């Protein structure tokens, strides 16, 4: 029992919370503000899309999406079943029970927009989607 608790504690210690991932993502995106769009393109590759603005600036879009499928397996649990004794009383015995995990497919996506000034400097960014961080 102590070993199970220790293993579980070690596994959970390696997990990063959603808030921590969001903070790391925000810090990474904030680090681009003030830098040149050329640096961004050199680092991230060409944008998925871009648009010119009437102010002389532009917007660079980086988008990605993927279908992620999980589940489809089975696992075994032990279900306690009471076996009565004809003489009175009884006892519980563990009976294996097969459980199915349903197949689930989800679309994961992220769209990041960088607003670039006429001087080719990144002014701001925004992100939307369920797989940005």
| Domain ranges across the chain | 18-129
pLDDT at 10 over 90: no
pLDDT in the model for residue 16 = 83
Pairing relationship of beta strands 58-70 and 74-84 according to DSSP bridges: unpaired
Residue range 109-122, pLDDT digits in tens? 999 999 999 999 99
Residue whose entry in the numeric block shows the structure tokens 């769209």: 111
pTM above 0.85, yes or no: no
Question: Which residue in 32, 61, 33, 64 sits closest to 133, CA to CA?
Answer: 64
């Amino acid at each position: 029992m102590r070993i199970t608790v220790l293993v579980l504690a070690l596994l959970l210690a390696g997990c990063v919370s959603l808030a921590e991932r969001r903070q790391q993502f925000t810090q990474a995106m904030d680090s681009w503000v003030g830098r040149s769009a050329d640096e961004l393109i050199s680092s991230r590759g060409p944008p998925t899309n871009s648009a010119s603005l009437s102010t002389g600036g532009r917007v660079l879009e980086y988008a990605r999406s993927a279908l992620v499928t999980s589940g489809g397996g089975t696992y075994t649990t032990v279900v306690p079943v009471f076996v009565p004794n004809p003489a009175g009383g009884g006892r519980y015995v563990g009976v294996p029970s097969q459980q199915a995990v349903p197949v689930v497919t989800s679309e994961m996506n992220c769209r990041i927009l960088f607003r670039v000034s006429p001087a080719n400097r990144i002014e701001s960014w925004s992100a939307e989607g369920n797989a940005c961080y």
